[in-house]
Amino acid sequence: TGVPREHRAFQYVLAHAVPGDPRHVLHAFDRWCDRREHLSSVGPVKGRIVERLLRERAPWRVLELGTYCGYGTVLLAQALRPGARLYTVAVDPRHVAVAEKVIRLAGFDERTVELVAGPSEEVIPRLRPRHGLAAADFVFMDHGKRCYLRDLRLLEGHGLLATGATIVADNVLFPGAPHFLQYAKTCGKYRCRVHRASLEY
């Protein structure tokens, strides 16, 4: 058709999801991915782990690296405590266009979710001066696996991790982020736990 699969998925979600209902938007994405085409979103199984951790920690400031189509963003946003804010970073302009529509379709405005476009290594140093993120209490990494360690160090170097911050990184075993895992386990700054799960869908 010449239409990217991310746009095909959005058209399905737009036709089948209830606007302003984040759970229904996620469910529509899940139906599409189960029955039509695979999208590399976090998915419902791993999503429940992320959502549980987010509700347990109840952070005020959440940072997502790797917006893609907005599935993970909606998952995070609907689990936020009242008054909390989510910053999400997307590098691909085509994905930014889809994610923006998905986030707003789910009912989240810019006061709750700020979508920041650009490569993470360029965006992270600007998060405080340009976007007002003093420090993140919760970070969800689901972007390029080779970027995990670099971006964790950038967050550390720019003082963007609050004391006691939680960092959740997807797909660290497959396709894998071995250098990130080794650093997190051996640098002495973090307590690590691996959550076993299957690939999405």
DSSP three-state, residue 68: coil
To the query of whether residue 142 is one of the catalytic residues in this protein, the response is yes
Catalytic one among 142, 151, 156, 189?
Answer: 142
- Measured between alpha carbons, how far is 177 from 192 in angstroms, rounded to an integer? 14
CA dihedral (95, 98, 101, 102) positive or negative: negative
Is 34 annotated as catalytic? no
30 is catalytic: no
Among 56, 171, 185, 189, which one carries the catalytic annotation? 171
> CA of 78: how far to CAs of 24, 30, 44, 93, 113, in Å?
11, 16, 14, 24, 10
Cross-sheet strand order for the sheet of 161-169? 113-117, 85-90, 61-65, 136-141, 161-169
In the residue annotation, 200 being an active-site residue is answered as yes
The active-site residue, picked from 30, 46, 145, 151, is: 145
By three-state DSSP, how is residue 168 classified?
A: strand
Identified catalytic residue from 6, 30, 114, 170? 170
Instruction: Specify whether the CB–CB gap between 54 and 79 falls below 8 A.
Output: yes
User: Rounded to an integer, what distance in angstroms lies between the CA atom of residue 79 and that of residue 162?
Assistant: 19
Q: Which residues are catalytic?
A: 142, 145, 170-171, 200
